[in-house]
Structure 1
Amino acid sequence: MWIDLLRWAHVIGATVLLGTGAGIAFFMVMAHRTGDVKLIAHTAGIVVVADWVFTASAVIIQPITGILLAKSIGWPIMHGWVLWSLILYVLVGLFWLPVVWMQQQMRDLARNAMLNGHVLPTRYFKLYRIWFACGFPAFFAVLGIVWLMISRPVL
């Protein structure tokens, strides 16, 4: 029963990480493509809240449930696929933390432009390009983690 509960919580956390990450990226990209400062400011505000509410919660839950699950089942944490999952998890975090900061900056820049009747500043576009580029390695690393969790290959 305990292991089933841990598995369930861990799968829910992985689903939230993958789904929220993909959803946030989609909505931010679609808002950006409109060029509408008001829409970008509004969407960026929602994206920041969603990242803190959903992604941050899952980021905390995943290692806790994963370590408890591995220990309960007897999987060695510092070996094989579990270790590679942890390495990829750290990689995702190295991209996610700056991305959250960039989203907040883009939100603030868009809000200021909207409130002052200005166009988006050059800094917004620079942050957006970096934000966009950071999404690819983080997304593929999460996909890799999910694959490792499902296949549990002997490494």
Structure 2
Amino acid sequence: MDLYLLLKAAHVVGATVLLGTGAGIAFFMLMAHRTGQPALIAHTARVVVIADTVFTATAVIIQPITGAALAHVVGYPLFSGWIGLSLLLYVVTGLCWLPVVWIQIRLRDLADAAAKAGQPLPERYHRLFRAWFMLGFPAFAAVLAIVWLMLAKPSF
């Protein structure tokens, strides 16, 4: 297998992991939140934090490496055109994702404390959940746009 196909396969898998893990995490966190059950939310958030660490963080590291290598192999300029826009959107995604990771950890801890105390979820949990939910929209939209740019390769 040549280098181009190997890099392209790794890049496509990484993009798929980012998109799929993001959608899955959002779905499971939202479904757990809707129950209002602190123990279930804490359990789900524990799994989500692990998934973000194992899958999302790995893909976050691999994507720019394989993308830069692909651009080099093909001869595309790295910081202009659709690749430059993809990189800008990648930064937007990261600026949303980093606080989301911190929020997920806090949501897990707040839900766990409420479950252990036999108390309802505190208001702080609900404020953080709203922030987590709202940060997901620009992050997910940016990832979708990046995938479209990768596929369409529009000329600007």
Number of equivalent positions: 155
Look up the match of 2:52: 51
TM-score by length of 1: 0.99
Q: Distance between the aligned counterparts of 1:23 and 1:64, measured in 2?
A: 24
SS for the counterpart of 1:147 is helix
Identity of paired residues, percent? 63
Please state how far the C-alpha of 1:36 moved relative to its aligned partner.
Answer: 1.0
Gaps of 5+ in 1: none
Q: Distance between the aligned counterparts of 1:127 and 1:5, measured in 2?
A: 40
Look up the match of 2:155: 154
* 4+ aligned runs moved over 3 Å, structure 1: none
Look up the match of 1:9: 10
Alignment of 1:29-44 (within 5 A): 29-44=30-45
Look up the match of 2:28: 27
Please state how far the C-alpha of 1:112 moved relative to its aligned partner.
Answer: 0.6
What is the letter of the counterpart of residue 56 of structure 2? T
Look up the match of 2:73: 72
What is the letter of the counterpart of residue 24 of structure 1? I
Q: Distance between the aligned counterparts of 1:98 and 1:117, measured in 2?
A: 28
Q: Distance between the aligned counterparts of 2:99 and 2:38, measured in 1?
A: 22
Q: Distance between the aligned counterparts of 1:127 and 1:51, measured in 2?
A: 18
What is the letter of the counterpart of residue 136 of structure 1? F
Q: Distance between the aligned counterparts of 1:25 and 1:95, measured in 2?
A: 13
TM-score by length of 2: 0.99
What is the letter of the counterpart of residue 18 of structure 2? L
What is the letter of the counterpart of residue 22 of structure 1? A
Look up the match of 1:123: 124
What is the letter of the counterpart of residue 33 of structure 1? R
Please state how far the C-alpha of 1:78 moved relative to its aligned partner.
Answer: 1.1
Q: Deviations along 1:118-139, whole A, 9 cap, x unmatched?
A: 1111100000000000000000
Q: Distance between the aligned counterparts of 1:27 and 1:9, measured in 2?
A: 26
Gaps of 5+ in 2: none
Please state how far the C-alpha of 1:69 moved relative to its aligned partner.
Answer: 0.5
Q: Deviations along 1:14-54, whole A, 9 cap, x unmatched?
A: 00000000000000000000111111010011011100100
Q: Distance between the aligned counterparts of 1:78 and 1:59, measured in 2?
A: 18
Look up the match of 1:138: 139
Look up the match of 1:94: 95
